[in-house]
Structure 1
């Protein structure tokens, strides 16, 4: 084994699989077993892909190009004006001074007008269903048994998953999924969509004191339920929004689609023709009813155990006058897509099982491909957010590795340790972290590989416990938790990190413009905040 292969076994896990009774051959009639070897979440702190570092600095240069472009104009304007000429009344007349001043004003004007408009988050709302839709883990299994849709093996499997899921006993599911009737219908899907979407939007419009007709851009993302007319059209119809509203409906993009929707809304606001600015609403949700799986395929039963009702609505603005009332300003947004890789593409896949029952299959490779996407995303994000000291240390170690011919092959023992690439501490770049609460296992692996503290993932774990996995809206329930605990202060940086099918990993970085105030009646945590955090 070479010097670089000593740690390869740490990425592997083994599993003994019972293949049943052999039907033919020399071992006919006997039990047969096989050993399955698969990868775990890769160690994110021990490897880095240089191309993603370069991509991060490409983003950084793009953000600074507007300021850099003005420097030559200033040099031309003032390069020939000496100190003696400025103070020599004989050679410096009023017309020359006015001319140079005009160039300065013009340069400042070009920079001001050419830079992207800041995007402000005025406020957001998270839908909290009524208490009659609450369900405990025990009641979940009992009602699933009474519905007659599952056999005992499937019920036992779901029971085991729920016990280690990190989900509490107060999550919400639609009543239709536990009825004896078929629930995956357009009627039930539309009913759930109307309840969660209109509930979140009503609260948002009330909090922000705006009319639906004030909205110029509407972006809705829902991965698995995409009716015709679309959900965005349903919103336009319900609120009688204006005829020139720019509406978009994103489907099939998984749990990270909320940040994709933010990216689209940002681009539309920054490219919009309105000189006075505009407002955008981003709605993120998923329909539990329409995607409820009633078969026996275990990989498709997993989403039943984690996904719960939820919806978020976010109000964005590019109007500079909204700075005073906005809560946050969007600093950075980085998207990573690993769909070119076949394993990543099929890691979360909607299809029919052997009995032609539609479901969402979760591959055993999802942890590994998710880790690779996460590594690429945070490596690209690093140059945009990390302190200069961390970046300098990283580049010194990177240059040293290249000078000696690559760290892990440069020798054994202490030399290998000396040449190990330094991975920056991402905790120095943010005060708060909102990671998509996919499952307890995912959060545990992420904490271990990124070296995070329990407090860093408190919002994610408590959201998973209280509301379950609400798909793309989960990161907003986590931000609502931070606000309810009054942990957000002016100037704090918040990192929202989401990942989902495709496979995609996306990051959004916000800066708080004011301190989080005492939670109002609209905060979804208000009725249970005194009980959190809980020990999981």
Structure 2
């Protein structure tokens, strides 16, 4: 066989080998990127060792009659504002058992800086002490500290106040988040997750609260009066770690997190904003289209989340329904995936009964899935970002969380933004005698939930 013939035979084989090599290389890259998230999750597990929620003292309880009686004595409110707040209190879904900090029980309320600092000590030190006692840790064992509070940002910061109180280490990594709204606690978990990917063999504590003493609105613009009626006292402390040996003692392992936001959209951005009224008094304005904005914000988060965690068939039906609506039948409804195929428990935002029901409707959830949010709103009011932990405490107090179950916490806040945090229970959950529900869980759920709460 001549050399020319050999060259002609070898050339096609070489080209085919090169093509096969390129296909294999491309396939390897594709498989790598598809499986990277799963490898990442297992290479750096994050554990929730335990958490604590504030049970405010009974002296802070504010029945409707006391709230309205005190408000009627404030010179800043006119009769129309009192009637407006009375109407929204009775329809809010709250009970007579919610709490306000001591400074707001005075006539007129004490809104000075020092009163807010006293409230910080009351709501943060109590739960920090409880969490350290539960986990048998020293303050000097903590490597990372994240404190979130949306409306109060003193100097020194809240994280510095905690570090000073507990004489923590000089090399602790501390972070103070403000202005993040009701999503801040879930967002802090996401931040803790990212930090613990970098800082190996570490403990992180997340402290979540809202300081109400400086957030009281003393004017007569109705969109700003709503928060006086809804926001109530609460705080939570959460211990996270990436220590492998902590798996045996931890309650949950982080399964998935996702953050989305819509601050790029002016309408959404302005739907909840802190600003001065016509007389110069500060307050948070809640616009009429807030419910619609909340739905849009949640929708983008849920769409991305579903693509990551839902079974193939749920994704397929959802995708086919979108194609049908777009190209075949404009009136057809888009199939809402059944998240209950993956998630057993839901902690929805406690931003108000209409918001809870709208979110549940959008996700096709029933009364049982709404129950933790509605009962938390009923017993404690809207505690901003810490509400998610009162809901999880409710599920634990009702003995519903089993080993292997997944819990989805949805944090939604001003900005607007939405943060999803999904936990997987990794051991049986024992009753917590210091739970905020310990003395009242036997009274819940309130039935019927729909008209009565």
Normalization by structure 2: what TM-score? 0.89
* Aligned partner of residue 219 in structure 1, secondary structure: strand
- Aligned match of 1:280: 204
Residues 180-235 of structure 1: CA deviation (Å, up to 9, x unaligned): 34522211111111100001111100111100110000001100000000000000
Tell me the equivalent position of 2:139.
212
Higher Rg of the two aligned structures: 1
Q: Equivalent of 1:244, from 142, 165, 171? A: 171
CA 1:192–1:345 in 2, change beyond 3 Å: closer, same or farther? same
Q: Structure 2 vs 1, CA of residues 62 and 194 (structure 1 numbering), >3 Å: closer, same or farther?
A: farther
Cα separation, partners in 2 of 1:283 and 1:520, compared to 1, 3 Å: same
Measure the CA separation in 1 of the matches of 2:344 and 2:295: 23
CA distance 1:452–1:147, shift in 2 (3 Å): same
> Aligned to 1:371, which of 284, 295, 301?
295
How far apart are residue 487 of structure 1 and its match?
0.3
Alpha-carbon contact 1:278-1:317 (below 8 Å) kept: yes
Q: Output the CA distance in 2 between the equivalents of 1:369 and 1:349.
A: 13
Give the CA deviation at 1:115.
5.9
- Whether 1:163 aligns to 2:163 is no
Contact 1:168–1:465 (8 Å) recurs in 2: yes
Instruction: Give 1:80's aligned residue.
Output: none
Equivalent position SS for 2:214? helix
For residues 147 and 35 of structure 2, the distance between their equivalents in structure 1, rounded to whole angstroms, comes to 31
Deviation at 1:366, TM superposition (A): 0.7
- Note the aligned Cα RMSD (angstroms): 1.9
How far is 1:136 from its partner? 1.2
Structure 2 gaps, min length 5: 1-30, 448-452
CA distance in 1, matches of 2:178, 2:34: 30
- 1:64 alignment counterpart: 35
Q: Which residue, out of 248, 253, 269, partners 1:345?
A: 269
Per the TM alignment, residue 467 of structure 1 is displaced from its structure 2 partner at its CA by 0.5
Equivalent pair of 2:183/2:411 in contact (CA under 8 Å) = yes
Q: In the alignment, which residue of structure 2 is the partner of 1:431?
A: 344
Preserved CA contact (<8 Å) 1:484 1:525: yes
For 1:221, which of 140, 144, 148 is the aligned residue?
148
Match of 2:416 among 498, 503, 511: 503
Query: Is 1:533 matched up with 2:428?
Result: no
The answer (yes or no) to whether the contact 2:347–2:373 under 8 Å persists in 1 is yes
Q: Which whole-Å CA distance do the structure 1 matches of 2:252 and 2:285 have between them?
A: 37
Partner residue, 2:324: 401
What SS is found at the alignment partner of 2:239? Answer: strand
Tell me the alpha carbon deviations over residues 397-433 of structure 1, each in whole angstroms, 9 at most, x when there is no partner. Answer: 45x539xx61335xxxxxx54xx54331122221000
Cα deviation, residue 271, structure 1: 0.9
The partner residue of 2:193 within 245, 249, 266 is 266
Task: Give distance in 1, aligned partners of 2:250 and 2:407.
Answer: 15
Q: CA deviation at 1:118?
A: 0.3
Q: Matches of 1:496 and 1:443 in 2, distance apart?
A: 13
CA distance in 2, matches of 1:397, 1:369: 24
User: How far apart are residue 61 of structure 1 and its match?
Assistant: 7.6
Runs of 4+ in 1 over 4 A off after TM superposition: 60-63
Cα distance in 1 for residues equivalent to 2:246 and 2:88: 46
Q: TM-score w.r.t. structure 1 length?
A: 0.75
